[in-house]
Structure 1
Amino acid sequence: MATTKSAKEVREEREKMLVLKHKYDNRITITKYGKECLDAGDYATALQRFTEYMDIMAEVKHVKDFYSLKTGHFDSKSDITEMLMMSHVFFEMARIYDAVPKFQEDSRRCLEQFVAFSANQPYQVVNSELIRKHLKKSVFKNPDAFRDAYQQIYVQSKKCYVVTFCYGHEHPVTNEFREFKDWLLNYKTGQELVRLYYGHSSTAVTRWEKSPAMHLVARLFIRPALVLFSKTILRLILTK
């Protein structure tokens, strides 16, 4: 039998919701202040503000902590800006933790969240460039962890833009090219090729989808070329 809440419980619940709403409404200001502190070199305060923001999001989504936040907790269209901001905050937290050896595990967990909130998102290329530029500067105490995160963004991504445009997400040819991408990521040159591919193809395919002419070109020319490649060179590579 359902129990009726007392007036006190209802009042406390209402007050708790109002407090959470106030914190949520101020989350952008909190994050902005964290970024200002980070730019000023006040890393301790920056981390406090970033953590405060993440704790608010965890409370709003009813999960135990911000490491439990998943992209599935958000709407892929209406929440895309929030997800982008979260991915960048996770990255900055990972950077701050990375500077202190005893916090390497925290850095790793934030990197995992950064990858989770980057792969398969419209801003995936932007985030991969963010981490690549920092790697180029050699600013990390544990660069291997950040390099692995950079690769994981592509490994976890299911998108092969051009192939998916031609064949869809689950076609055998699409799956073969995903395997090809994973193979490329084993090599430094391959990683650069994958980066360039994602950087250009994501923009191109967005335009192609609106063009009847490109759909015709894909059917007459690109699809046959992809099939030929998958049945010849690609097959030789994947069976080695």
Structure 2
Amino acid sequence: MSEPLLERVRIVLVEPQEPMNVGAVARAMKNFGLSQLYLVNPHPRVGPPWAREAYWLAVHAEDLLDRAQAVGSLREALEGVHLVVATTGRPRELYPAPLVPAWEVPGRVLTVAGPVALVFGRETFGLTNEELDLAHLIGTIPTAPEQPSLNLAQAVVVFAYELYKAALGGSVEAREELAEVAALEALFDDLGRYILEIGFTDAHRHPYAMRRLRRILHKARLSPGEVQLLRGLLHQSRFAMGKKHG
């Protein structure tokens, strides 16, 4: 198995509330070769320092908890990341990125030549629309309609298993150079201002328009050079419009 493939994967928990869930996540990660755990604004009863209840459930994964990083925002957890997979079990009117089942995630993730992140939401209501906007891919776990919800550790173990199984096969190579999250978000900031300036949309419909545009551009899996090209196009277009009306 190619260990570096899994070493680049971050598991990000957004505002976890239960210490035992965090411990169970650490154990699931250790079961399947994952080692990077980030917690975004964890509840005070979770830590840091991590609650003893978390260590009770982190059987043989205490070292992973010891190295876990607590950060104040999702963007901070995604610094340096080249691909973000957000997980959700809730239907939405419009997803800002392609929607794929858990077993298709490894083929999209492990080919990326850089850090990747799998983001899991709160135990109570998952991820907000604004947090989903940061994702390049939305991963789902099909479940029986009689009991559709999974707890946090269950969701992590499904994705971790799929990643481990793909890496175990040894046929995946990390060759794809994708732009970092920060570069993509700078592009979306430019694009968001631009579509307002040209009257493509108005302030009320702007979030919906941007989610559709995000979805289109995420399908393209943009490289750093392509992001620079598109930002340059927007800047030059804005400059040309200013000269025309100046």
Q: TM-score if structure 2 supplies the norm length?
A: 0.29
Structure number with bigger Rg: 1
